[in-house]
């Protein structure tokens, strides 16, 4: 069976809502759902242009995910926490960029590899593969579920590229 390789930044971004939901469900089961929720809140803040709304959303994000009193606090090192605290003096849409990058990196290196090996991911990959497959009457190779090999004369599709090791700055 071809396993679809979905890059973490595509998975949690807007382009794959179904995949993001499955990843979020996985994180919930790992007791780390706050990471994707924080990341998504930061993305929403970046789209905000009204200064009053930016300040309000930044304070909400801080109280919900940065404050040590929050039950949904994300794990940040002291350097990044200090940057966020300085940025909160005058919040901008990019107040949490360093923290967002640190949480993205945590998900990319820790949660995502476990997700890729989980039954939830395998289900997502199967659904994605089935949705992109041509109709059974076409001449494309067929999947033999018993052997999990591809039959027919056409070669199997090449595997998708591996996830980027690090996001570019500002992403």
Residue 55: which CATH number?
Answer: 1.10.167.10
Predicted pLDDT of residue 133: 63
Give the ranges where the chain is alpha helix by DSSP (H): 8-12, 17-29, 33-47, 51-61, 78-87, 97-106, 112-116, 119-132
Contact between 70 and 61 under an 8 Å Cβ cutoff? The reply is no
Average pLDDT, the chain: 76
Cα separations (Å) of 130 from 17, 103, 133, 149, 165? Answer: 17, 32, 5, 15, 28
Instruction: Print the domain residue range for 91.
Output: 32-110
Q: What tokens does 153 get?
A: 């004369």
Listed range (15-19, 43-47, 72-76, 103-107) with the worst mean pLDDT:
15-19
Predicted pLDDT of residue 23: 84
Domain assignment present for residue 93? The answer is yes
Domain assignment present for residue 13? The answer is no
Domain assignment present for residue 56? The answer is yes
Domain total for the chain? 1
Domain assignment present for residue 16? The answer is no
Of 5-19, 64-78, 106-120, give the range with the top mean pLDDT. Answer: 64-78
Domain assignment present for residue 90? The answer is yes
Half-sphere exposure of 32 (CA within 13 A, CB side): 17
Cα separations (Å) of 138 from 128, 130, 135, 150, 152? Answer: 18, 14, 6, 14, 11
Q: Each residue of 111-165: pLDDT tens digit?
A: 999 998 998 788 778 887 787 765 444 333 332 333 333 333 333 333 333 444 4
SS3 content of the chain, % helix, strand, coil (to 5): 55, 5, 40
Domain assignment present for residue 94? The answer is yes
Domain assignment present for residue 38? The answer is yes
pTM beyond 0.75, yes or no: no
How much of the chain exceeds pLDDT 90, in percent? Answer: 53
How much of the chain exceeds pLDDT 70, in percent? Answer: 68
Domain assignment present for residue 14? The answer is no
């Amino acid at each position: 069976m071809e396993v679809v390789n979905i890059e973490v930044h595509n998975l949690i971004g807007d382009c794959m809502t179904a995949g993001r939901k499955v990843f979020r469900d996985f994180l919930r089961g790992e007791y780390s759902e706050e990471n994707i929720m924080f990341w998504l809140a930061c993305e929403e803040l970046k789209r905000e242009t009204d200064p009053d709304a930016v300040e309000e959303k930044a304070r909400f994000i801080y109280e919900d995910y940065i404050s040590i009193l929050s039950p949904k606090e994300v794990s940040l090192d002291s350097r990044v926490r200090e940057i966020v605290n300085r940025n909160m003096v005058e919040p901008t849409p990019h107040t949490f960029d360093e923290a967002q990058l640190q949480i993205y990196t945590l998900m990319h290196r820790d949660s995502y590899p476990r997700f890729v090996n989980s039954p939830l991911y395998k289900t997502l990959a199967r659904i994605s593969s089935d949705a992109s497959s041509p109709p059974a009457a076409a001449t494309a190779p067929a999947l033999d579920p018993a052997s999990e090999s591809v039959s027919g004369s056409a070669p199997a599709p090449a595997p998708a590229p591996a996830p980027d090791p690090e996001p570019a700055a500002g992403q």
